[in-house]
Amino acid sequence: MNQKHLSFSEPVAKALSQGKPVIALESTIISHGMPYPQNVETALNCERIARENGTEPATIAVIEGRLCAGLSPAQLEYLGKAGPSVVKASRRDLPVLIARKQTGATTVAATMIIAALAGIRVFATGGVGGVHRGAQTSMDISADLEELAKTSVAVVCAGVKSILDLGLTLEYLETRGVPVLGYQTDELPAFYTDKSGFPVDARMDSPQQIADVLRAQCEIGYPGGMLITNPIPAEFAMPADVINAAINKALQEADQQHVKGKAITPFLLDRVVQLTGGDSLNSNIQLVYNNVALAARIAAAL
Residue 7, classed as helix, strand or coil, is strand
Q: Which of 116, 120, 119 shows the shortest CA–CA distance to 224?
A: 116
The active-site residue out of 56, 77, 88, 161 is: 161
In terms of DSSP H, where are the helices of the chain? Answer: 10-17, 28, 38-52, 73-82, 94-100, 108-118, 135-138, 143-150, 166-175, 207-219, 240-256, 264-275, 279-301
Residue 243 near residue 193, CB atoms below 8 Å:
yes
Q: CB count, 10 Å around CB of 220? A: 8
For residue 227, list its beta bridge partners. Answer: 155, 180
Residue 214, classed as helix, strand or coil, is helix
User: How far is residue 125's CA from residue 106's CA, in Å, rounded to a whole number?
Assistant: 11
**Is 161 annotated in the active site?**
yes
First to last CA, the chain: 26
3-28 as b/e: b if 16+ CB within 10 A? eebebbbebbbebbeeeebbbbbbbb
**Is 195 annotated in the active site?**
no
The active-site residue out of 20, 26, 81, 187 is: 26
CA dihedral 29, 289, 23, 298 (to 10 degrees): -140
Q: Which of 94, 110, 88, 127 shows the shortest CA–CA distance to 263?
A: 88
Q: What are phi and psi of 87, to 5 degrees?
A: -60, 135
The residues carrying an active-site annotation are: 26, 161
